[in-house]
A and B are shown apart, each in its own frame.
Chain A
Amino acid sequence: DAKTTQPNSMESNEEEPVHLPCNHSTISGTDYIHWYRQLPSQGPEYVIHGLTSNVNNRMASLAIAEDRKSSTLILHRATLRDAAVYYCMDNAGNMLTFGGGTRLMVKP
Chain B
Amino acid sequence: DAGITQSPRHKVTETGTPVTLRCHQTENHRYMYWYRQDPGHGLRLIHYSYGVKDTDKGEVSDGYSVSRSKTEDFLLTLESATSSQTSVYFCAISERRVGSTNEKLFFGSGTQLSVL
Max count, chain A CB within 10 A of own CB: residue among B43, B101, B105: B43
Tell me the A11-59 residues at the B interface (CB within 8 Å): 30-32, 34, 36, 42-46, 49, 51
B84 within 8 A of A: no
Question: Which of A63-71, A74-82, A91-99 is the contact stretch?
Answer: A91-99
Q: Which residues of B contact A34 (CB under 8 A)?
A: 98, 104-105
B44 within 8 A of A: yes
- Our pick among A43, A45, A98, A99 for the contact of B110 (Cβ within 8 Å) is A43
Q: Which residues of B contact A49 (CB under 8 A)?
A: 102, 104
Residues of A that sit less than 8 Å from B by CB? 30-32, 34, 36, 42-46, 49, 51, 87, 90-91, 94-101
Measured between alpha carbons, how far is A91 from B105 in the docked complex, in Å? 13
Q: Give the secondary structure class of A's interface.
A: loop
- Quick check: A43 and B107 within 8 Å, CB to CB? yes
- Our pick among B58, B102, B109 for the contact of A32 (Cβ within 8 Å) is B102
Contacts A34-B98, A101-B42 given: A96-B33 contact, CB under 8 Å? yes
Binary interface profile of B, 20-60, with partner A (CB < 8 Å = 1, else 0)?
00000000000001000000111111000000000000110
Q: How far is the CB of B81 from chain A (nearest CB, A)?
A: 22
Since A44-B43, A96-B99, A96-B105 are in contact, a sample of 16 more A-B pairs with Cβ atoms closer than 8 Å, ordered by chain A residue number, is A30-B100, A31-B100, A32-B102, A34-B105, A36-B105, A36-B107, A43-B108, A43-B110, A46-B104, A46-B106, A49-B102, A49-B104, A94-B99, A96-B58, A97-B45, A100-B42
B74 within 8 A of A: no
- Quick check: A32 and B100 within 8 Å, CB to CB? yes
Measured between alpha carbons, how far is A95 from B105 in the docked complex, in Å? 14
Contacts A34-B104, A42-B109, A43-B107 given: A87-B99 contact, CB under 8 Å? no
- Quick check: B43 and A98 within 8 Å, CB to CB? yes
- Quick check: A91 and B100 within 8 Å, CB to CB? yes
- Quick check: B99 and A32 within 8 Å, CB to CB? yes
A-B contact pairs, 24 of them (CB 8 A): A30-B100, A32-B102, A34-B104, A34-B105, A36-B107, A42-B109, A42-B110, A43-B90, A43-B107, A43-B110, A44-B43, A44-B105, A46-B104, A46-B106, A49-B102, A49-B104, A87-B42, A91-B98, A96-B99, A96-B105, A98-B43, A99-B42, A100-B41, A101-B42
